Amino acid sequence: MEKQNQNIVIIGGGFAGVEMAEQLLKAGYRGKIILVDKNNYNFFPPLLYQVATGFLDISNISYPFRKYFRNHPAFRFRMGSLVAVRAEDQVAVLDNGEIHYDQLIIATGTVSNYFGNEHIRQHSLPMKTIGDAVTLKNRLLERLEVASRLTDQAKKDRLTTFVIAGGGPTGVEIAGMLSELRKNILHKDYPELAGCKMDIYLVDGLPALLSPMSKKSQAYAKSTLEQMGVIIRLGQVVKDYKDHVVLLADGTTIETDNLIWTAGVTGQLFEGLAKESYGKGNRLLTDAYSRVTGTANIYAIGDSSLMTADPAFPNGHPQLAQVALQQAAQLAHNIISETKGRGAKAFRYKDRGSMAIISRNKAVADLTGPLRHFQGFFAWLIWIFVHLMSLINLRNKITTLFNWYNAYITRDQPLRMIIDAKNNPPAEDKSQARF
């Protein structure tokens, strides 16, 4: 079989997987490109927290793979999850069958890491998927409904106290959004909760928020959140969560029914890939060409990959969207080059900076170039533009912009509906795991 007629199987339809497929199709790859994902849609993770807090609808940040790639005859989609790899047979084993590959690209991203704590895994609210975001919105709104009809002030306070574990961009952004909700919306929707403190805690084990960003960004984020009434606990990790109580490393406790978990991620392990192929955080060790250690035709890109061959990043690249996009584009270019008898090019990451939104008109941006740091309104505009342009298609860009404009003008958003597939109404005697 000629190289240009080979089957390329891409596992994972996130930033890296979609970019990989797009680049190969754009270059006119003549083989079959098969994208595998457990969902039948792509979604935009940086805006999950806005779905979780009712400021965006699911459809604003998601789009079906089959529609997006429908005009490309070489493209095929398979809904499923990777379970194992039989490298000797060149077969990817899915949870619903098997698929043959000539080149296998693993771009499965990460899952929430609970650091082995079963109580946290069972009772906290993660935010990694669309399902997580919808569940988080449902649970928070359910608990507000329950609190609105209680007379026991201690229980009301527990239901309306929010603890966010993790001081990265997601933790900072959801803390800011919850603070905006508390200030502008919740007292109007829930007059019964007048007098409730509605405390918002942001907890992180590191000495600063937004640890990968500049000290200016870290200081601005901290001071802004504190001015908004967010209680910040740095140098603390969540040790346990049971019986409605968050236990911190110093022995401090916080009574709450709402532990939002953004504190850590880990890669996924797949049967058939040697233990030696995995590095820190269960990320697959790759060479400078994204090839998984110990394999000939298996590659890993994006958050799944731990590449130490880039001289500027000897400990691996940060798990950012830009890394995923650049690795996917480079690998696609290398594959096309090899089909034409040319050599592959080693990957070198070009850091374009990072940013985080805090609240209305407040954000931080650390960029490359002579003007490296922005904060406040201008950084907020940069964040809006970059995230809007990063959405997968024009429809998503337009609907998201409309929702943002409406929320900015009205300081509100009418998307706070409890949509629960189980259709179970909240009740005071339900278990913590249900709420």
**Mind telling me the catalytic residues?**
173
Which amino acid, 355?
M
Q: Tokens 């940069």 appear where?
A: 382
Q: Are 202 and 231 in contact (CB under 8 A)?
A: yes
Rounded Cα distance between 247 and 237, Å, is 9
Rounded Cα distance between 87 and 109, Å, is 21
Rounded Cα distance between 378 and 207, Å, is 27
20-28 — which CB contacts under 8 Å span 24+ positions?
20/105, 20/107, 20/301, 20/328, 20/331, 20/332, 21/69, 21/75, 23/328, 23/329, 23/332, 23/333, 24/332, 24/335, 24/336, 25/69, 25/72, 25/74, 25/75, 27/332, 27/333, 27/336
The DSSP code for 287 is -
User: For the CA atoms of 414, 415, 421, 425, what is the dihedral angle to 10 degrees?
Assistant: -50
Rounded Cα distance between 66 and 76, Å, is 8
Rounded Cα distance between 42 and 18, Å, is 8
- The token duo for 357 is 């939104």
